[in-house]
């Protein structure tokens, strides 16, 4: 007898010889990115930033010989993700779960998918494991069996309600992948809301709104208009009549952030009155231009503005990534030198501002702010936060979910990766304190009102490039700063990030938030010895979670020393990886 789940799975059969993993790549198999690097053409790429297909064992060539059109390799995964999303929703008594189809800053031919929990946060790790297992089941019968096993294990009522929200970015393969998810959701009998094109953070926002509607924690109206109205109004209130200096040019990576920003602008105070925004690289009609020579990843990686950039010295610019959950700022100084204001800079700027407002509101004794970084944060940023701002810094492993979890433990947790992923989260107690506090004088009232507007302006479910950019503008306007003043708060230590290809990156194991290697034996000692030879030296090596490589980071007092240190550590890693 036919079963709808078996039928849906058979409709999108899994390609043979591929192994998939959810999130950053696991420690099994060989990442396809390895195969990709040896691939003669891009048409053989099949990587997903969130669901990464891995070739089983080391048979990358077997994978290449499949010669599949790029996203065929994800069809089967997407149908199964639909099934998992329905199960996850049922396990939470029908709460809305989000499915976002995007490969973020990766090239246009890539795609991927991620699941969003009811409050807009990232999928629980236990369910990442279930998703991975599900993605790797061979056929319809196995999938059905596993679906029922999950239901039994978690006592999920398969007749209970399942509700799932879907959105996608502007990639050409998105429409087909959407159909694949829908087939899975339909087979599982889920109620589906398809929002069409959204930025990743907008989808997170919708999920949170839908699940909190009508409660005391209501987050907003679950529509695009609701999103623009909420953030637009908060921006206006937070500015308190202050006008940001000059204008802001926003490079939208030719991704979904472009049209969404154009829409958001309609809800911001009119030009002349507040911020003048120039939108560039917003061509979504040509999906092949996505993230090409533009966007946050291009700017951060190449340390230069997109070649199309036409701004003059002192003009503030920022770049979003392909799904608008990352943002970095930059400008040309008076000598026409490119200056980057990355995630570390956003974190320090925002932490200093929120610290001031908390103090001015008279809440410094009851609310503590902390900053969460990864080992990639520049040492000068860490020192500035600890010694100048006198705030606590936590360091976590790479990946926003780690930063988010650490930030959740703080009253106000400001977390950013250097590459521009991040946001600020307020604990429930802190939100209550700020909501209920009775100001004792007009100064306190003013600061309190700014804090309340910032809470609304910050997308607390996930890092949101549009909301983060507006927050930066609010802070700069209050401080009456341009980018040069922002840059002048501290001087970055010269640094270098290198990628080392090794035959098996899984032998590189770390501890201490990835800052020290525990394996291969003896390597850390050798790195320490090199670090001790340079002034203000710091270096670490870790296996990338998204690429088949080991990343080496080094910083030191001078550019020459940083580069030399990086080169030497990379050499040590290469030797250890080939022995
Ligand atoms: P890996 O490949 O694990 O270093 C990269 C970024 C992370 C994060 C993830 C997810 C660096 C050094 N690493 O991780 O910050 O953004 O991708 O996209 O930038
Ligand atoms: Zn992204």
Per-residue pLDDT, 39:
28
Q: Give the number of the atom of ligand 1 that is nearest the alpha carbon of residue 542.
A: 4
pLDDT in tens, 45-72: 333 445 555 433 222 222 222 333 455 7
Nearest CA to ligand 1 atom 13: 398
Distance CA 128, CA 362 (A): 42
Distance 143 CA to ligand 1 centre (A): 31
Return the ligand 1 atom nearest residue 553 CA.
12
Q: Strands 550-555 and 495-500, how do they pair?
A: antiparallel
User: Which ligand is located closest to the Cα atom of residue 102?
Assistant: 2
From atom 16 of ligand 1, which residue's Cα is the shortest distance away? 399
Find the mean pLDDT for residues 377-394.
Answer: 98
Decide if pLDDT at 44 tops 60: no
Map residue 135 onto helix, strand or coil.
Answer: helix
Query: Are 518 and 462 within 8 A, CB to CB?
Result: no
Index of the ligand 1 atom closest to the CA of residue 326: 16
Closest-lying ligand 1 atom to the alpha carbon of residue 545: 3
Residue 104 catalytic? yes
User: Annotated binding site for Mg(2+): which residue ranges?
Assistant: 104, 321, 323, 325
Nearest CA to ligand 1 atom 8: 399
Q: What element of type H or E holds 152?
A: helix 140-153
- The arrangement of strands across the sheet holding 538-543 comes to 495-500, 550-555, 538-543
Distance between CA atoms of 315 and 131, rounded to whole angstroms? 45
Going by alpha carbons, the residue nearest to atom 9 of ligand 1 is: 399
pTM of this structure: 0.92
Supply the pLDDT for residue 71: 52
Q: Is the peptide bond before 520 cis (omega within 30 degrees of 0)?
A: yes
For residue 376, the ligand 1 atom closest to its alpha carbon is: 12
| Ligand 1 pocket, CB under 6 A | 24, 49, 376, 398-399, 417, 419, 421, 544-547, 551
The answer to whether residue 109 scores a pLDDT higher than 80 is: yes
Q: Which ligand is nearest to the CA of 290?
A: 2
Q: Could you tell me which of 301, 296, 303 has the C-alpha nearest to residue 254?
A: 296
Q: Using CA atoms, how far apart are residues 81 and 113, in angstroms rounded to an integer?
A: 8
Residue nearest to atom 17 of ligand 1 (CA): 546
CA distances from 89 to 99, 110, 117, 161, 368 (A): 11, 27, 9, 8, 35
Ligand 1 center from residue 319 Cα (angstroms): 17
Helix or strand or coil: residue 479? helix
Looking at the CA of 204, which ligand is closest?
Answer: 2
Tokens representing residue 133 in the block: 């297992």
pLDDT band at 26 (very low <50, low <70, confident <90, very high): very low
pLDDT score at 15: 86
3-state secondary structure 219-247: CCCCCHHHHHHHHHHHHHHHHCCCCCCCE
d(CA 254, CA 292) in angstroms, rounded, equals 8
Instruction: Kindly give the distance from the C-alpha atom of residue 545 to the centroid of ligand 1, in angstroms, as a whole number.
Output: 7
Best residue among 399, 404, 506 to mutate for probing ligand 1's pocket (most ligand atoms within 8 Å of CB) is 399
| ∠ CA 275-431-355, rounded to 5° | 60
Q: Which atom of ligand 1 is nearest to the CA of 399?
A: 8
Classify residue 4 by burial, with Cβ atoms within 10 Å: 0-12, 13-18, 19+. Answer: middle
8 A C-beta contact, residue 467 and residue 246:
no
Residues 6+ apart with CB under 8 A from 8: 79, 82, 83, 140, 183, 184, 186, 187
Question: Which is the catalytic residue, given 49, 76, 89, 104?
Answer: 104
> Residues 191-215: what's their mean pLDDT?
98
CA of 418 to the centre of ligand 1 (A): 10
Binding-site residues for substrate, in ranges, read 417-419, 542-546, 551
Angle, nearest 10°, between helix axes 140-153 and 72-91?
20
pLDDT at 20: 85
Residues flagged as binding site: 104, 321, 323, 325, 417-419, 542-546, 551
Write the residue with the smallest CA distance to atom 11 of ligand 1: 419
Please state the rounded mean pLDDT for residues 295-318: 95
Orientation of helix 72-91 relative to helix 125-135, angle to 10°: 140
Please state the rounded mean pLDDT for residues 533-541.
98
Most distant CA pair in the chain, distance:
74
Answer for the pair 425, 407: CB distance below 8 angstroms, yes or no.
Answer: yes
* Contact between residue 195 and residue 96 where contact means Cβ atoms under 8 Å apart: no
Torsion of CA 331, 333, 336, 339, to 10 degrees: -50
Range in 28-32, 242-246, 470-474 with the lowest mean pLDDT: 28-32
> Given the structure tokens 């270098």, which residue do they identify?
496
**Ligand that lies nearest to the alpha carbon of residue 201, given by its number in the listed order:** 2
Mean pLDDT over all residues of the chain? 91
Residues, CB-to-ion distance under 5 Å, ligand 2: 104, 321, 323, 325
For the beta sheet containing 163-168, the strands, ordered from the edge strand earlier in sequence to the opposite edge, are 113-116, 96-101, 163-168, 191-197
Q: How far is the CA of 409 from the centre of ligand 1 (A)?
A: 23
Task: Calculate mean pLDDT across residues 370-394.
Answer: 98
- The stretch 482-499 carries a mean pLDDT of 97
Cα 421 to averaged position of ligand 2 atoms, centre (Å): 8
pLDDT band at 460 (very low <50, low <70, confident <90, very high): confident
Nearest CA to ligand 1 atom 10: 399
Ligand closest to CA 549: 1
Ligand 1 pocket test, candidate residues 21, 23, 24, 402, most atoms within 8 A of CB: 24
Cα–Cα separations (whole angstroms), residue 561 to 141, 537, 556: 59, 8, 6
Among 71-85, 184-198, 367-381, 488-502, the range scoring the smallest mean pLDDT is 71-85
| 3-state secondary structure (DSSP) of residue 154 | coil
* 322 CA → ligand 2 middle, Å: 6
């Amino acid at each position: 007898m036919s079963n709808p789940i078996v039928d849906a799975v058979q409709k999108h059969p899994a390609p043979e010889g591929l192994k998939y993993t959810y999130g950053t790549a696991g420690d099994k198999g060989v990442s396809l990115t390895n195969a990709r690097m040896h691939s003669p053409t891009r048409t053989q790429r099949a990587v997903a930033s969130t669901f990464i297909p891995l070739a089983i064992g080391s048979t990358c060539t077997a994978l290449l010989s499949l010669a599949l059109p790029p996203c065929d390799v994800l069809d089967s995964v997407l149908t199964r993700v639909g099934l998992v999303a329905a199960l996850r929703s049922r396990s939470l008594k029908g709460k809305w779960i989000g499915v976002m189809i995007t490969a973020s800053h990766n090239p246009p031919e890539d795609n991927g998918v991620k699941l969003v929990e009811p409050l807009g946060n990232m999928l629980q790790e236990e369910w990442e494991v279930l998703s991975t297992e599900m993605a790797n089941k061979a056929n319809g019968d196995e999938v059905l069996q596993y679906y029922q096993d999950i239901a039994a294990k978690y006592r999920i009522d398969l007749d209970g309600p399942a509700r799932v929200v879907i959105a996608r970015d502007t990639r050409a393969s998105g429409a087909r992948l959407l159909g694949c998810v829908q087939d899975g959701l339909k087979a599982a009998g889920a109620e589906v809301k398809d929002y069409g094109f959204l930025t990743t953070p907008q989808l997170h926002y919708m999920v949170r709104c839908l699940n909190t509607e009508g409660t005391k924690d209501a987050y907003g109206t679950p529509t695009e208009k609701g999103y623009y109205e909420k953030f637009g109004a908060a921006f206006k209130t937070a500015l308190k009549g202050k006008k940001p200096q000059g204008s802001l040019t926003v490079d939208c990576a030719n991704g979904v952030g472009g049209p969404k920003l154009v829409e958001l602008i309609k809800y911001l105070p009119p030009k002349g009155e507040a911020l003048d925004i120039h939108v560039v690289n917003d061509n979504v009609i040509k999906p092949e231009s996505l993230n090409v020579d533009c966007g946050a990843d291009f700017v951060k990686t190449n340390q230069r503005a997109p070649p199309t950039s036409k701004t003059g010295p002192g003009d503030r610019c920022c770049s979003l990534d392909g799904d608008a959950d990352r943002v970095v700022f930059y400008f040309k100084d008076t000598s026409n030198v490119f200056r980057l204001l990355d995630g570390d800079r956003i974190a320090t700027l925002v932490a200093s501002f929120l610290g001031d407002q908390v103090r001015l509101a008279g809440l410094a004794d009851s609310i503590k702010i902390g900053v969460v970084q990864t080992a990639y944060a520049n040492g000068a940023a860490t020192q500035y936060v600890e010694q100048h701002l006198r705030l606590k810094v936590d360091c976590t492993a790479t990946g926003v979910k780690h930063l988010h979890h650490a930030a959740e433990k703080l009253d106000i947790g400001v977390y950013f990766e250097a590459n521009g992923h991040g946001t600020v989260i307020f604990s429930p107690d802190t939100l209550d304190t700020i909501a209920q506090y009775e100001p004792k004088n007009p100064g306190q009232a003013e600061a309190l009102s700014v804090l309340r507007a910032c809470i609304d302006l910050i997308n607390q479910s996930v890092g949101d490039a549009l909301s983060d950019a507006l927050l930066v503008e609010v802070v700069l306007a209050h401080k009456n700063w341009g980018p040069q003043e922002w840059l002048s708060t501290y001087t970055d230590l010269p640094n270098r990030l290198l990628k080392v290809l090794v035959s098996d990156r899984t032998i590189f194991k770390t501890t201490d938030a990835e800052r020290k290697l525990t394996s291969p034996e003896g390597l850390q000692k050798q790195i320490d010895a090199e670090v001790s030879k340079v002034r203000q030296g710091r270096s670490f090596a870790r296996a990338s979670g998204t690429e088949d490589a080991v990343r080496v980071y080094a910083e030191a007092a001078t550019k020459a020393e940083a580069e030399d240190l990086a080169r030497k550590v990379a050499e040590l890693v290469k030797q250890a990886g080939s022995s």
